[in-house]
Structure 1
Amino acid sequence: MKVLVLGGGVIGVTTAYYLARSGHEVTVVDRQAATALETSFANAGEVSPGYSSPWAGPGVPVKAVKWLLMKHGPLVVRPKLDPAMWLWLAKMLRNCTSARYAVNKSRMIPLAEYSRDCLRALRAETAIRYDERSRGTLQLFRKQAQVDGIADDIAVLKQYGVPYEVLDRDGCVGAEPALAAVKHKIAGGLRLPQDETGDCHMFTQALAVHAAKLGVQFRLETTIERLMADATAIAGVATSAGVLRADAYVVALGSWSSHLLRPLGISIPVYPVKGYSITVPIADPDAAPVSTVMDESYKVAITRLGDRIRVGGTAEVSGYSNKLHPARQATLDHSLTDLFPRGGDLVGATFWSGLRPMTPDGPPVIGATRYGNLHLNTGHGTLGWTMACGSGRVLADLLSGRKPDIDTTALAITRYDNRFG
């Protein structure tokens, strides 16, 4: 079958790879000059199944007010005259209940766990390298109240058999020795030893090379303009290079997916939530993190990637703007220097932002649409890197008529027909 994959980020490229491995003739279309140059370019670097949780949860509305008032708060809202923004926020608030949080998390963890297993298998098959490490994630708590509040998260980890360690101050230093210098700032931690790290951009570009060896074609610097459809099927894609046609089409355009689908009458509640990162050269290897430290107070992830430290965070609801705001860099700088004061050289830092494609309930949207040959793989939010290989494998199975290894029914677009939308 001839398949067009629309989008050249980590989701699009993993989807193309697994489709090609299944014997399909695949072309990836993207407006950039290379793969993984937008949201996949400089994310926090975490492959964190155990940290796969919806942003919408009980207590979040109250916390959001506090975050908005913090100097280095993890949440920023820049209001716009955009009905889609306010509708998305309203839907997210409706998901901030214990019952909905439990349902949504139950849809995310199996996919994230499966995806990590797929990544490990892919790594074994291809010998792909991407500054990867398998040293776990340490969720670091500065306050005892944060330690006392992890019971619900631990219950979910137990439910899904996700290994974890509850650590005291000394345990945190044992996992991340460089924290010894700031031991007095630590109340405790929750460590997820099976989580991994790696450079998503490096991975995606390397996988694109492997995909090309399987016959995948890449139509880069090609702007996707619109989908051409009749009553039941997609007939082609209008692009800056002309009309491209295939037997099947996969939309993997992240935050831009909803724009492309809307003219067809397909509504998916995927909206951009901007994240920021800095990438800093390591100044002292012994004073840098071993893996990922999630600074829970600021919701900032500090990750070692080869000879660099990647610091990522902030949830900024500001539409489709990629403007870099210095105050957001100040938050990332603060978290890094407060926990790893000698680890990185901020003079050499590069500052970046990307638009995470968020759904209001948390899980991505994967599967078929009412058009028989149109499929979706989008809406992964902060977990695109974590869920990429599993999502690509699942989509390839669905399109090939095979039953996926995990149940994906609850990830379909049809879930927005019920009250959890």
Structure 2
Amino acid sequence: MERAGKMKIVVLGAGVIGVTSAWYLAKAGHEVTVIDRQPGPALETSFANAGEISPGYSSPWAAPGIPLKALKWMFQRHAPLVLQPRLDAHRLGWMAQMLANCTYDAYAVNKSRMVRIAEYSRDCLDAVRVETGIEYDQRMQGTLQVFRKQEQLDGAGKDIEVLRADGVPFEVLDRAGCVAAEPGLAGQADRIVGGLRLPGDETGDCFKFTNRLAEMAEALGVTFRWGETVQALEAEGGRISAVATDQGRFTADRYVLAMGPHSPQLVRHLGLKLPIYPLKGYSLTIPIEDEGLAPVSTVMDETFKVAITRLGDRIRVGGLAEIAGYDLSLNDRRRATLTKSVTELFGGAGDPAKATFWTGLRPMTPDGTPIVGATPIPNLFLNTGHGTLGWTMSAGSGRLLSDLISGRGPDIEFEDLGYARYLKGAKARFQGAMQPARA
């Protein structure tokens, strides 16, 4: 396969996805500029996420039974998914696509490809750690998904089938096994019936990682333009001709869109309909006061869809999903749900009253899989739509994108991770654009 030569590349967005993309592109020898409206890296969706790197737990929200569960959650105070009432054509269309993916067959396909990119990403992250020595409060002690009800444990069968098919190590644990893996659960063991442990999963502070990798990317020659708002992508002759910002116009050979939930608006006028909708999530960051009662890694509370993660001397409690558009207001009711989850499982480890409360928007696709790769516009590439798994999938997505742009054959199957899967009948006309780029 013919490799591309050195190119000038503009990356739009400096969250963990944009920064990993820039780092890999710079490693490949390209001249890279990153533009972001914030004063530094990872100050939006990547700022205070749950902290888990969980390839084995990579699952689409669109799953069998979710429509019925969503109706029940509407009447629960501590529901993991909340739909705020609003008439919005974009939202309704996205929800219709999501419902269409709530079948057993679609779930198996979607989960398998999500696990593929996530497992690859974990391997890429390991290589970055070895190469750079980067530190970000990382731990490699697995993820434990705990079930409070027997029906939840029984329902894990469909996930276990996919894990087994994809060769992902797992352990099904009884109550005692859960306590052995996470001793901090001992005092609350009667609340759980069992768990699913994924020993290959990791944890770490996404904000710290992104900032340190940005420094390393800058040392490789990447230019970061902070405090600069992207206004439009300009097109001419079927290609992107420039990116317009509030500080000027910039031209490049290739353009990478990595603006998370804000990606669809930037390409709609180009005829690209990205099925991405913001899913609002929340987190608490709690100082640890009793090490013996704190988690050692990540514990997933299946009942509330909440992750409780050890990050150095802090506990990060993150999760929930609120379909509320681009609203970034903090909701005390969601804080109460996070507090309930962590105090019921790790009560006494830290004082939730001393926590920092945060919210962010995850860019969710209806099938759960990110959109990574080429578009029908030859010099425009996408790395967006990672939903709740941007941190988990970041390194692999950045490496895959860099390989495609640079004309290198990717290490994993990539065709079903791109935009073409949404084009249906037009897919055949797009096959050429899906291939690794050439100079």
Runs of 4+ in structure 1 displaced over 6 angstroms? none
Task: Report the Cα distance in structure 2 between the residues aligned to 1:252 and 1:38, rounded to whole angstroms.
Answer: 12
Q: Which of residues 359, 363, 373 is equivalent to 2:369?
A: 363
Q: Residue in 2 aligned with 1:17?
A: 23
Task: Report the Cα distance in structure 2 between the residues aligned to 1:62 and 1:122, rounded to whole angstroms.
Answer: 42
Q: Residue in 1 aligned with 2:178?
A: 172
Instruction: For 2:153, give the aligned amino acid.
Output: V
Q: Residue in 2 aligned with 1:294?
A: 300
Instruction: For 1:348, give the aligned amino acid.
Output: K
Q: Which of residues 206, 221, 233 is equivalent to 2:239?
A: 233
Matched, 1:90 2:96: yes
Q: Deviations over 1:272-302 (max 9, x none)?
A: 0000001000010111001000000111100
Instruction: Count the aligned residue pairs.
Output: 420
Task: Report the Cα distance in structure 1 between the residues aligned to 2:240 and 2:193, rounded to whole angstroms.
Answer: 55
Q: Residue in 2 aligned with 1:333?
A: 339
Matched, 1:242 2:242: no
Show the 5 A alignment for 1:1-400.
1-400=7-406
Task: Report the Cα distance in structure 2 between the residues aligned to 1:178 and 1:104, rounded to whole angstroms.
Answer: 34
Task: Report the Cα distance in structure 1 between the residues aligned to 2:51 and 2:123, rounded to whole angstroms.
Answer: 17
- Backbone CA RMSD of aligned residues: 1.0
Task: Report the Cα distance in structure 2 between the residues aligned to 1:77 and 1:94, rounded to whole angstroms.
Answer: 18
Task: Report the Cα distance in structure 2 between the residues aligned to 1:119 and 1:251, rounded to whole angstroms.
Answer: 21
Task: Report the Cα distance in structure 1 between the residues aligned to 2:413 and 2:190, rounded to whole angstroms.
Answer: 45
Instruction: For 1:204, give the aligned amino acid.
Output: T
The alpha-carbon deviation at position 69 of structure 1 amounts to 1.7
The alpha-carbon deviation at position 7 of structure 1 amounts to 0.2
Compare 204-213 and 345-354 and name the one that shifted more: 345-354
Unmatched segments (≥5 aa) in structure 2: 1-6, 428-439
The alpha-carbon deviation at position 84 of structure 1 amounts to 0.4
Q: Deviations over 1:131-176 (max 9, x none)?
A: 0000100000011111111111111110000000000000000000
Q: Deviations over 1:345-373 (max 9, x none)?
A: 22320100000000001100111111111
Task: Report the Cα distance in structure 2 between the residues aligned to 1:284 and 1:398, rounded to whole angstroms.
Answer: 47
The alpha-carbon deviation at position 71 of structure 1 amounts to 1.4
Show the 5 A alignment for 1:405-420.
405-418=411-424
Task: Report the Cα distance in structure 2 between the residues aligned to 1:79 and 1:203, rounded to whole angstroms.
Answer: 36
Task: Report the Cα distance in structure 2 between the residues aligned to 1:51 and 1:231, rounded to whole angstroms.
Answer: 43
How high is the TM-score relative to the length of structure 2? 0.95
The alpha-carbon deviation at position 331 of structure 1 amounts to 0.2
Q: Deviations over 1:45-94 (max 9, x none)?
A: 01000001111011111111122222111011112232101111111001
Task: Report the Cα distance in structure 2 between the residues aligned to 1:261 and 1:416, rounded to whole angstroms.
Answer: 15
Task: Report the Cα distance in structure 2 between the residues aligned to 1:135 and 1:384, rounded to whole angstroms.
Answer: 20
The alpha-carbon deviation at position 403 of structure 1 amounts to 0.8
Instruction: For 1:230, give the aligned amino acid.
Output: E
Q: Deviations over 1:364-419 (max 9, x none)?
A: 01111111110000000000000000000000000001110001100111101239
Helix, strand or coil at the partner of 1:351 = strand
Helix, strand or coil at the partner of 1:276 = strand
Task: Report the Cα distance in structure 1 between the residues aligned to 2:210 and 2:55, rounded to whole angstroms.
Answer: 19
Task: Report the Cα distance in structure 1 between the residues aligned to 2:297 and 2:32, rounded to whole angstroms.
Answer: 35
Instruction: For 2:124, give the aligned amino acid.
Output: C
The alpha-carbon deviation at position 195 of structure 1 amounts to 0.2
Helix, strand or coil at the partner of 1:228 = strand
Task: Report the Cα distance in structure 2 between the residues aligned to 1:293 and 1:312, rounded to whole angstroms.
Answer: 11
Helix, strand or coil at the partner of 1:272 = strand
Compare 233-242 and 67-76 and name the one that shifted more: 67-76
Q: Deviations over 1:88-128 (max 9, x none)?
A: 11110011011111111121111000000000000010000
Unmatched segments (≥5 aa) in structure 1: none
Instruction: For 1:44, give the aligned amino acid.
Output: A
Compare 170-179 and 346-355 and name the one that shifted more: 346-355
Task: Report the Cα distance in structure 1 between the residues aligned to 2:154 and 2:112, rounded to whole angstroms.
Answer: 23
How high is the TM-score relative to the length of structure 1? 0.99
The alpha-carbon deviation at position 203 of structure 1 amounts to 0.3
Task: Report the Cα distance in structure 2 between the residues aligned to 1:26 and 1:346, rounded to whole angstroms.
Answer: 42
The alpha-carbon deviation at position 344 of structure 1 amounts to 1.2
Instruction: For 2:238, give the aligned amino acid.
Output: T
The alpha-carbon deviation at position 230 of structure 1 amounts to 1.0
Task: Report the Cα distance in structure 2 between the residues aligned to 1:264 and 1:150, rounded to whole angstroms.
Answer: 42
The alpha-carbon deviation at position 252 of structure 1 amounts to 0.2
Task: Report the Cα distance in structure 2 between the residues aligned to 1:347 and 1:72, rounded to whole angstroms.
Answer: 18
The alpha-carbon deviation at position 231 of structure 1 amounts to 2.9
Identity %: 62
Task: Report the Cα distance in structure 2 between the residues aligned to 1:153 and 1:416, rounded to whole angstroms.
Answer: 25
Instruction: For 1:22, give the aligned amino acid.
Output: A
Task: Report the Cα distance in structure 2 between the residues aligned to 1:390 and 1:83, rounded to whole angstroms.
Answer: 33
Task: Report the Cα distance in structure 1 between the residues aligned to 2:386 and 2:73, rounded to whole angstroms.
Answer: 23
